[in-house]
Copies of this chain bind each other. A is one copy, B any other.
Amino acid sequence: MTERDGAGTIDTTALRELLDGRWAAVRGQARKLLRGPEFAPVYGLGVDEHRTRVSGQLRALAGTRLSGHGFSSDHGGSGDVGASVVAFEMLVCDLSLMVKVGVQWGLFGGAVQALGTERHHAAYLRDVMSVELPGCFAMTETGHGSDVQRLRTTATFDPETDEFVVHTPDEAARKDYIGNAARDGRMAVVFAQLVTGGERHGVHALMVPLRDASGRPMPGVRIEDCGPKAGLNGVDNGRLWFDRVRVPRTSLLNRYGDVDAEGRYSSPIENANRRFFTMLGTLIRGRISVAGGAGTATKAALAIAVRYGEARHQFDRPGGGGEVPLLDYLTHQRRLLPALAKSYALHFAQEELVSRLHESVTGGPLDDRGQRELEARAAGLKAVATWHATHTIQTCREACGGAGYLSENRLPQLKADTDVFTTFEGDNTVLLQLVAKGLLTNYRQEFGSLDTLGTARFVAGQFFEAVIERTAARSLIERLVNAAPGRDEDANLFDRGWQCKLLEDREEHVLEGLARRLRKPGADAFSMFNDAQDHVLLAGRAHVERIALEAFVAGVERVSDEGTRAVLNRLCDLYALSVIEADRAWFLEHERLTPARSKAITTAVNALCGRLRPHALDLVGAFGLNDEWLAAPIALGAEAARQEPRSRAQAPR
């Protein structure tokens, strides 16, 4: 439904194209491919049945173009990294399939591609793509998840036999939560402490066979099922123990570290710490994919809740006019529409991030700072997007009442499946700290020698050029910011430059304060960092919220249809002002907002909700999610039909 209210009229095709973006073709493929009973969402399956179904789906996709995007064209792939991330995020018909694909082609295959060399590529990649070789990414251990550097599994070189001995020394070192391990995996990329000649060289990855052709565990390999989980029960997560398992020396994925037949270790990267982080850095695709997948699941939930909120009526309108659609209630708008605006912001930010990742692979290696920025952004967006998913899907469930609790309406599965997204591929709390650390490194490189507050303030004008990564929209944003009124109180709340300036200013202030705080002498290192931990998280979040706003602004810039742009501009206002509203205590504490202006922001958010409400159906429609992926009867006409005794029934489109 498209109504006119002065905010504009959405051209639904134009908006869909904008959101489909650079990899529109991949989205189109997925929409065509993921149809019919084979890919329809399911619920209520037993664990075994669900795993069988998802394994079958994975194999069915192996014959399609979706399988090869992440792999080099020399070995049958298309070498289109961006496409691989976008393909992953489209697998919303069953998030178990999404994660299964992510394990096989993203983590397992991706590690072979990124950490291996030609001999591994030639030996494995075709079988990875065809799923002839189902594989695992065996990094996490029971005792060490976030702290990968402290993994305890060992891979000790034995020059006598020219083999590595892979070993699990204790219970804390068992591999845990490993996707594809409990049922399907034949081989694993195992991360272990590399030891040769008694010397340790840090964490490296090796190809280790798990099961023989008949599916029996290889000698020395013990496998256990992790059992039922909150969600994602179509993925067979398991635990692995290695009892002095021997693999040939060539099993080492040796792009960043090699051992010769005499047991001599060599690496193109001298510094062990740097080597470790370089290896990890090649694996950020998984993190970026998770942010995208969380985004699609959130969109699906919003599409269901908005359609239901439009069809469902409850309580008579005082003064007559029949029962009121839920979406007419301010509280209902408040629950769904700012979340919808944030989904748009994160969508544009994700698109920009995927493009950057793609360039970084196809355009040659980034410099240190570029790599650091890419990693910080991947970490930050992953954390913010997955928390947004957890929060928003929960809200959508509640907004659909009892109907939202029924499995048939998909929200329970979306919630349960995405729940672990905040944990895997990096715990969100740890990731936001990585963001802040990346920013602090830039900051110190620029201002490290300037020790007094005065000097730092003097150069603060160059803060954004010096410290903060350049975004695609940087010049546009600068123009907007410079055009904003000098005195904040004069600015219109809807002035985009003022909004951007406010978020920039917060980021700068928080980061400067943090840099000063962590430079203080005296306190012991742990206390100093720990006491500032909430400050650190704020720095990470402030950064992501600012870049998401800038990405949104740049996205709106790309629409030529005027009506659509007008609506998106209101939606961008809603994102900016609801972000500011949520943290208005900070802006008040730091006297960036007066009390009166702070209240005015809440009033403005309410007003924006009212103005955008008529466009809500179009805005979720533009996500382009197949109806059969939404699956929920309440989103596909059942609720409207039930409301038919009243003449006002509206069918969702």
> Measuring CB to CB, which residues of chain A are less than 8 angstroms from any residue of chain B?
43-44, 46-47, 140, 142-147, 150, 152, 169-172, 176-177, 226-231, 314-319, 321, 323-324, 328-331, 334, 390, 394, 397-398, 401-402, 404-408, 411-412, 415-416, 419-420, 422-424, 427-429, 524-526, 529-531, 533-534, 537, 584-585, 588-591, 595, 598-599, 602, 606, 641-645
11 A-B residue pairs with Cβ-Cβ distance under 8 Å, sorted by A, are A46-B46, A145-B314, A177-B405, A229-B406, A230-B411, A230-B412, A319-B525, A328-B530, A331-B537, A334-B534, A416-B416
Q: How far is the CA of A300 from the CA of B319 in the complex (A)?
A: 47
Contact between B589 and A589, CB atoms less than 8 A apart: no
Give Cα A394 to B419, complex, Å: 9
A408/B227 contact (C-beta < 8 A), A402-B420, A423-B402 known = yes
Report the Cα distance A589→B601, complex, angstroms. 11
* A405 CA / B169 CA spacing, docked (Å): 25
B residues within 8 A CB of A390?
A: 394
Residues of B within 8 A of A589 (CB): 584, 588, 595, 598-599
Of the candidates B152, B402, B427, the one whose C-beta lies within 8 Å of that of A145 is: B402
**Given known A394-B394, A427-B401, contact A591–B595 (CB-CB < 8 A):** yes
Contacts A331-B534, A585-B584, A595-B590 hold; do A147 and B315 have CB atoms under 8 A apart?
yes
Minimum distance in angstroms from A425 CB to a CB of chain B = 11
Q: What residues of chain B lie closer than 8 Å to A606, measured between beta carbons? A: 531, 534
**Assembled-state Cα–Cα distance A463/B43 (Å):** 54
A43 to B152, CA, bound (A): 31
Measured between alpha carbons, how far is A589 from B537 in the docked complex, in Å?
Answer: 25
B146, B170, B176, B319: which contacts A526 (Cβ < 8 A)?
Answer: B319
Contact in complex: A44, B227 (CB < 8 Å): yes
A308 vs chain B, min Cβ distance (A) = 13
**Contact at B585–A329, with CB atoms within 8 Å?**
no
Contacts A169-B645, A227-B408 known; 17 new A-B pairs at CB < 8 A: A44-B227, A143-B642, A145-B402, A147-B314, A150-B316, A172-B642, A172-B644, A172-B645, A226-B406, A228-B407, A230-B397, A230-B406, A230-B416, A330-B533, A330-B534, A331-B534, A390-B394
Our pick among B47, B171, B529 for the contact of A642 (Cβ within 8 Å) is B171
CA distance A588 to B593 in the complex (A): 10
Check if A230 sits within 8 Å of B526, measured CB to CB.
no
| Copies of this chain in the oligomer | 2
In the assembled complex, which residues on chain B have CB atoms less than 8 Å from the CB atom of A321? 526
Shortest beta-carbon distance from A264 to chain B in Å = 29
* Across the A-B interface, the 6 shortest Cβ-Cβ residue pairs: A230-B412, A318-B525, A228-B407, A44-B228, A585-B585, A588-B588
Give A330 Cβ to nearest chain B Cβ, in Å.
Answer: 4
Q: Which of A169, A171, A331 has the most CB of B within 10 A?
A: A331
* Least distance between A23 CB and chain B CB atoms (Å): 30
Q: With A229-B406, A537-B331 in contact, do A529 and B177 touch (Cβ < 8 Å)?
A: no
Contacts of A315 in B (CB 8 A): 146-147, 150
Q: Are A44 and B43 in contact (CB under 8 A)?
A: no
In the bound assembly, the distance between CA atoms of A348 and B571 in angstroms comes to 43
Q: Distance in Å from the Cβ of A327 to the closest Cβ of chain B?
A: 12
| Pairwise interchain contact A533-B226, C-beta atoms closer than 8 A | no
- Contact between B317 and A412 (Cβ–Cβ < 8 Å)? no
**Do A230 and B407 touch (CB < 8 A)?**
yes
Q: Does A314 contact B144, Cβ atoms closer than 8 Å?
A: yes
Bound complex: CA A642 to CA B317 (Å):
60
**Would you call A526 and B402 a contact (CB within 8 A)?**
no
Contacts A227-B408, A394-B394, A407-B227: A642 and B142 contacting too (C-beta < 8 A)?
A: yes
A401 / chain B contacts, CB cutoff of 8 Å: 145-146, 423, 427
Q: Of B169, B177, B323, B419, which is within 8 A of A397 by CB?
A: B419
A233 to B460, CA, bound (A): 58
From B145, B229, B323, B525, give the contact of A412 (CB < 8 A).
B229
Give the residues in chain B near A398, CB-CB below 8 Å: 422-423, 428
Contacts of A420 in B (CB 8 A): 402, 405
CB contact between A44 and one of B47, B585, B599 (< 8 Å): that residue: B47
Nearest-CB distance from A46 to chain B (Å)? 6
Chain B residues, Cβ within 8 Å of A524 = 318-319
Residues of B within 8 A of A397 (CB): 230, 419
Bound CA span A142–B400, Å: 12
With contacts A170-B645, A595-B590, A642-B172 taken as known, whether A423 is within 8 angstroms of B394 at the C-beta atoms is no
Bound-state CA distance A416–B43 (Å) is 15
Knowing A422-B398, A525-B318 are in contact, say whether A43-B642 is a contact too (CB < 8 A).
no
Give the residues in chain B near A231, CB-CB below 8 Å.
Answer: 405, 412
Interface centre among A315, A319, A585, A588 (most CB of B within 10 A): A585
A140–B115 Cα distance when bound, in Å, is 58
- Tell whether, in the assembled complex, residue B331 and residue A533 are in contact, meaning their CB atoms are under 8 Å apart: yes
Q: Give the shortest distance, in Å, between A573 (CB) and chain B (any CB).
A: 18
Q: Are B415 and A402 in contact (CB under 8 A)?
A: no
Residue of B nearest to A607 (CB): B531
